[in-house]
A and B are shown apart, each in its own frame.
Chain A
Amino acid sequence: MDTEMADTSALSSHYGQVQVHFTTNSPDIELPEGKRQLLVPTNVRRYGLSQILNSESMLDTPAPIPFDFLINGTFLRTTLEEYLTANGLSSETTLSLQYVRSLIPPLFEASFEHDDWVSCVDVLSSSSLAGTWGANVNVPVVLGQERILSGSYDGLLRLWNKSGQAIATSSSSSAGGHTASIKSAKFISPTQIASSSLDRTIRIWKYSEADDHFSGELKPVLELYGHLGGIDSIDVHGPSNRILSASTDGSIGLWTTAKNSAPAADEALISGPNAKRRKLTTSTNTPQRGPLSLISSHTAPVSAAIFNPLDSTVAYSASQDHTVRTMAPAEFGTFEVRELARKMKETAWLERLKETTGRGRRNQSVRDGTCRVWDLRSSRTGTKDEGNGVVGEAVYVIERESQKGKKRPVGGEGIKVYGVAWDKEVGIVSASEDKMVQINRGRGVTRPNDP
């Protein structure tokens, strides 16, 4: 404390001081009551504040913990003085600084090679949504038995364990598999998987695993017909057995995984004029069903549709017509369609809309061959050009391992990232055009006590 104060006084000969009040949401790193108020020089940045907190007189941590500081819900990225002047505050005010553990850049862990471009990934773990749904129905995921699902442009689904061994591969198109590239795949429960493809279908698979957990089987159980174009994105809700799909024909579909409650499929869609080819493909007799509801609310291809993870009665969809719409799939007949972002920046139409509201962080895959970690708290107010909203800035950029050290190719050629999943146990899993699934894991990210 003494040295700290001495430093402080030495610095304060040139700079002013400001009263700060340290708060945190993590009880294990909470400061004692008397030490929370402190006078700090205004020229310190995050690093200086972190040093002050880690000093003996404050937290007295055995190993220094890097901290980030939140003022008013946004990260402090400047000196305190610059923050004060930018917000028009006087140095007399008491700043309330919330400190959280810093994010450490995620490190590369593993890559799983595929035969073709990988379009999507999903993770099954005890903390993933499907895992929690499974736990509710007494099919819990054992720790260490996490599974990674990947869908590829060769039309096959693959299941991997964390060490990179392929446990199961879906059947080919002749045996009831997808006839075209898979665009999206999701775990519904530890034993059920949904996948959507460019062949206009959604397929439900039953996944069973051998006892040694090193081999498994994917069996098609249901084919869902209804969309007139390729299905770019699906989202699932396990407890209600609902699937939400987004198609390039501009429509959004709501489906059920239950064979009995699903309506019959449109015959014209199943056996089209090129029946010859179709016959070849459907040698196995998988039941075929239609959608519960199908609505064409967008005028352009829909790129993504998701359920609200906290409230499955609300869904969102993003489209190339520059709109994001909210709807209530529960009463699918009467869509409550609201235009959220009419004036969204033209080129920045949402490619993947992922919301992890619990953590308040987004993970987005982008076309330039990188995976970026975003934080909703790290944002700035958008300029008029950007539509006056809040524009986020990536916290970390994860490059493709296959492209390490090379110059980024024009147009993200060969390294476009098509899918990403983030799991507490596994890390950040991304699928890309380089035929790899890449796992990156951050150290501080999945700490249990991390807010």
Chain B
Amino acid sequence: MAPTAVDRKRKAVTRDVPESSDVESEAEFGDGLLEGILSQSEDSEDESDENEESDQEDEEDLDELEALDSDEILSEDGEDEAELNGGLVKSNGTKRPQTDLVPGQAQAEDDEEDKPNYRVEVDANGGERYVYEEIDPVYDSDDSDAPVTTNTIGNIPLTFYDSYPHIGYDINGKKIMRPAKGEALDALLDSIDIPKGWTGLTDPATGKPLNLSQDELEILRRIQTNEMPEEGYDPYPATVEYFTGIEEVMPLSAAPEPKRRFLPSKHEAKRVMKLVRAIREGRILPYKPPEGREEEEEEIHYDIWADEQPRPDHVMNIPAPKAPPPGYDLSYNPPPEYLPSKSEKQAWEDIDPEDREREYLPTTYDALRKVPAYDKFVKERFERSLDLYLAPRVRKNRLNIDPASLLPKLPKPEELKPFPTVCSTLFRGHEGRVRSLAIDPSGNCLASGGDDGTVRVWELLTGKQLWSAKIGDDEAVNVVRWRPGRDAVILSAAAGEDIYLIVPSVPDVNPKMEAASKELLDTGFGYATNATQALTANGQKKEPVAKWTRPSSRLQDEGVLIKITVRTTVKVISWHRRGDFFSTVSPTAQRSAVAIHTLSKHLTQIPFRRLPGIPQTVQFHPSRPLFFVATQRTIRSYDLQKQELVKIIQPGARWISSFDIHPGGDNLIVGSYDRRLLWHDLDLSTRPYKTMRFHSKAIRAVKYHKGGFPLFADASDDGSLQIFHGKVVSDMMENATIVPVKVLKGHKVKSALGVMDIDWHPREPWCVSAGADGTCRLWM
């Protein structure tokens, strides 16, 4: 800042000087000179100071630090000035007159003033006595260097004397006559040589022509050309290295370096620590650039007139600015242009009262007496009271997250159509519960079995019973399953310990297929008789695990062709996809709980000698030679060819009721009696990929759609079915999307049992359910 200011000043000077040489311009000019002088003298003084104080360097530094400590931060210029002033005071005791013109003169004055003009003597009383020198009363002894004549008119412009022949008065009261001037004088002057240093200007103090010396003119020239006014000024003098690392041959001082030069200064350390402490405590903060205007605007403004009381007029009291007077729109009968239009009115009414720009709507009344009472008076009072009464003392931080945004994005059920939505057919006829049902591979018939010991076949779409047979005399039919494949129509049903293989003689069955089915069932008899029976250790014939026989002729007439008797009650039948093997589960049997039957050989095998728990249900893998056995808590998959355990799946359910394998073979759903439906990805983990708990009662059955629709369903004891959309993508990186799409309600809950079994139509997105209320339902 400082140099630019000086520059500006100098420029101003160069402009002013040639135009007018009045007092002000001279004063400026003098200032310029002074600066140069001062700078020089400062330099010399500094040097001398440093010479003197070189020994006290440490102390001085410490002083500086102290100055810092007291938060007084000085710029270099300021420091220089301060030091300069001090120097001046030290050297002179008085300030140098600012009007000194020439350095040499000033120096002379300095010398004179240095010598006191008195002597101190001891008087008769012994006191000090100042004896001044005698003044020699010569002509100009009193004021030797004062101008000879001085105008005493004071600080008034000379123009006041324009109309007089004199221009003022000297010290003796005599008129100072105006010097000759004008044409006559001009003529005279023209004839005279222009004296050296003539400028044509008038000295305002004397009224005489102002003469400037050659030196002065040179200074002016330099100032005009923006140079240093002093002659021979070297702005970049070569440094004189008095105190450097270079060891002088002839040092200024022969004294050895003091010890303190080599020791860390304790005082300094103390001051540094003081600073450090200040920084740590936060008293000294790092420099921050001044913040912008925007933030200033955001400053909190306090309403100092919020609770203004009327006060007597006083200088220190600034009254609140007056509120603007009410406008036309507040009038009870405003001009029509202030009245809102219909749409504006509507818009105002639509806005929430809190968001309205103004609280009123301009309304017009013919006369003031027609203005009604304020309609919100009671409401406002009431709300005010309510506010006071319900004023919350504690501010609650409410979590402002939309709960909907936290849910994962699922497609809408409408987009996932088709799936079954309504019950379209009821199958009535069973007495007691319907325990199991299955749709035949062609999709025309439905087979069901129930507590009344009958197996029934229905026409799927109409609900007409086509065929019925009572296979369990006093035992319920626990399970019915069709043999997969379109080449034969074979129904398997289990009642008690007996498994029946049936070719139901429904009227519309193809006779060729019927014949093929019967042949398929009968071929095994030859194998069974030819097979050598295993012997026990005693040499006696071993009791076979199952007996394949013909049922009674009554049943044979109805199409029940084979009866397989095992040791305990069969609960589950599961067919292999080729239709030659099927597996049964009789949970109460100890070792022979799981049996695999070969249809073509009438052979029954027990694949597992020991099982780690009570088996619940079994499934064949839809494409690979794997066999899944579900015990109460785990599902184990075995490789049938290698006869080894492949995997143990742990759904985490307490009691598995049923499971089904996705037709793709990589996914599995598990339903459990503890209300859970679990989706397993066999490739990922033994733990479930997804657990769903939407039912209020146990889940009895789960089933995938096997005909190409990405659907699966579960049936629960709460009387409802739930349909899910479960899309499995071939991309390994993507997870299956599971969306619940529909809850189908309709079955009545009887003695805490709801829906017992479900099955899907082989082609259509229809499903059937067997209820404990004795009905089956078709949902489409």
A residues at B contact (CB < 8 Å)? 117, 153, 179-181, 197-200, 228-230, 248-249, 268-269, 272-274, 277, 300-301, 320-321, 346-347, 367, 385, 410-413, 416, 418, 433
Whether B515 sits at the interface, judged by CB under 8 Å, is: yes
Tell me whether B511 and A268 are in contact (CB under 8 A): yes
Tell me whether A273 and B423 are in contact (CB under 8 A): no
Closest residue to B507 on the A side, CB-wise? A180
User: Could you write out 14 A-B pairs with CB less than 8 Å apart?
Assistant: A181-B507, A197-B507, A198-B459, A200-B507, A248-B508, A269-B512, A273-B511, A273-B514, A346-B417, A385-B417, A411-B777, A412-B424, A416-B425, A416-B463
Whether B764 sits at the interface, judged by CB under 8 Å, is: yes
Whether B518 sits at the interface, judged by CB under 8 Å, is: yes
| Binary contact readout B442-476 vs A (1 if CB under 8 angstroms, 0 otherwise) | 11100000000000000100111010000000000
- Assembly CA distance A228 to B515 (angstroms): 13
Instruction: Give B523 Cβ to nearest chain A Cβ, in Å.
Output: 15
Instruction: Give B239 Cβ to nearest chain A Cβ, in Å.
Output: 93
Closest residue to A410 on the B side, CB-wise? B423
- Assembly CA distance A228 to B417 (angstroms): 33
Instruction: Give B215 Cβ to nearest chain A Cβ, in Å.
Output: 103
Instruction: Give B742 Cβ to nearest chain A Cβ, in Å.
Output: 13
Partner of A199, one of B464, B508, B518: B508
B residues at A contact (CB < 8 Å)? 417-418, 421-426, 428, 442-444, 459, 462-464, 466, 505, 507-508, 510-515, 518, 746, 763-765, 777-778, 780
Interface centre among A153, A230, A321 (most CB of B within 10 A): A230
CB contacts (< 8 Å) of A347 on chain B: these are 418, 421, 780
Partner of B464, one of A181, A229, A301: A181
Interface centre among B418, B459, B507, B508 (most CB of A within 10 A): B508
Tell me whether A274 and B505 are in contact (CB under 8 A): yes
CB contacts (< 8 Å) of A268 on chain B: these are 511-512
Closest residue to B764 on the A side, CB-wise? A320
Closest residue to B509 on the A side, CB-wise? A229
Known: A346-B418, A410-B426, A411-B424. A117 touches B464 (CB 8 A): yes
Tell me whether B510 and A249 are in contact (CB under 8 A): yes
CB contacts (< 8 Å) of B464 on chain A: these are 117, 153, 181
CB contacts (< 8 Å) of B444 on chain A: these are 229-230, 248, 301
Tell me whether B428 and A413 are in contact (CB under 8 A): yes
Tell me whether A411 and B423 are in contact (CB under 8 A): yes
Tell me whether B746 and A410 are in contact (CB under 8 A): yes
Instruction: Give A75 Cβ to nearest chain B Cβ, in Å.
Output: 29
CB contacts (< 8 Å) of A153 on chain B: these are 464
Tell me whether B515 and A272 are in contact (CB under 8 A): yes
- Assembly CA distance A418 to B425 (angstroms): 13
Known: A248-B444, A320-B764, A418-B462. A198 touches B508 (CB 8 A): yes
- Assembly CA distance A367 to B780 (angstroms): 12
Instruction: Give A117 Cβ to nearest chain B Cβ, in Å.
Output: 7
- Assembly CA distance A9 to B16 (angstroms): 97
Instruction: Give B443 Cβ to nearest chain A Cβ, in Å.
Output: 7
- Assembly CA distance A117 to B512 (angstroms): 29
Tell me whether B512 and A411 are in contact (CB under 8 A): no
- Assembly CA distance A446 to B422 (angstroms): 36
Q: Which 3 A/B pairs are nearest by Cβ-Cβ distance?
A: A272-B511, A180-B507, A230-B508
Instruction: Give B459 Cβ to nearest chain A Cβ, in Å.
Output: 8
- Assembly CA distance A268 to B417 (angstroms): 43
CB contacts (< 8 Å) of B765 on chain A: these are 346
CB contacts (< 8 Å) of B746 on chain A: these are 410
Tell me whether B508 and A411 are in contact (CB under 8 A): no
Tell me whether A228 and B512 are in contact (CB under 8 A): yes
Instruction: Give B634 Cβ to nearest chain A Cβ, in Å.
Output: 39
Closest residue to A250 on the B side, CB-wise? B442
CB contacts (< 8 Å) of B421 on chain A: these are 347
- Assembly CA distance A153 to B764 (angstroms): 26
Tell me whether B462 and A416 are in contact (CB under 8 A): yes
Closest residue to A247 on the B side, CB-wise? B508
Task: Beyond A346-B764, A410-B746, A433-B462, list 11 extra A-B contacts (CB 8 Å).
Answer: A179-B507, A180-B507, A180-B508, A181-B507, A228-B513, A273-B514, A300-B763, A320-B764, A321-B763, A385-B417, A411-B778
CB contacts (< 8 Å) of A385 on chain B: these are 417
Tell me whether B424 and A367 are in contact (CB under 8 A): yes
Partner of A230, one of B417, B422, B507, B518: B507
Instruction: Give B31 Cβ to nearest chain A Cβ, in Å.
Output: 90
CB contacts (< 8 Å) of A228 on chain B: these are 510, 512-513
- Assembly CA distance A280 to B552 (angstroms): 21
- Assembly CA distance A450 to B424 (angstroms): 37
- Assembly CA distance A385 to B413 (angstroms): 13
Tell me whether B518 and A273 are in contact (CB under 8 A): yes
CB contacts (< 8 Å) of B511 on chain A: these are 268-269, 272-274
Closest residue to A412 on the B side, CB-wise? B424
Closest residue to B746 on the A side, CB-wise? A410
Interface centre among A268, A347, A412, A416 (most CB of B within 10 A): A347
CB contacts (< 8 Å) of A269 on chain B: these are 511-512
Tell me whether A300 and B507 are in contact (CB under 8 A): no
Tell me whether B514 and A272 are in contact (CB under 8 A): yes
Interface centre among B417, B464, B505, B507 (most CB of A within 10 A): B507
Instruction: Give B196 Cβ to nearest chain A Cβ, in Å.
Output: 108
Tell me whether B510 and A229 are in contact (CB under 8 A): yes
CB contacts (< 8 Å) of B423 on chain A: these are 410-411
Instruction: Give A167 Cβ to nearest chain B Cβ, in Å.
Output: 26
CB contacts (< 8 Å) of B512 on chain A: these are 228, 268-269, 272
Known: A273-B515, A411-B777. A229 touches B764 (CB 8 A): no
Closest residue to A231 on the B side, CB-wise? B508
Tell me whether A199 and B507 are in contact (CB under 8 A): yes
CB contacts (< 8 Å) of A416 on chain B: these are 425, 462-463
- Assembly CA distance A171 to B505 (angstroms): 22
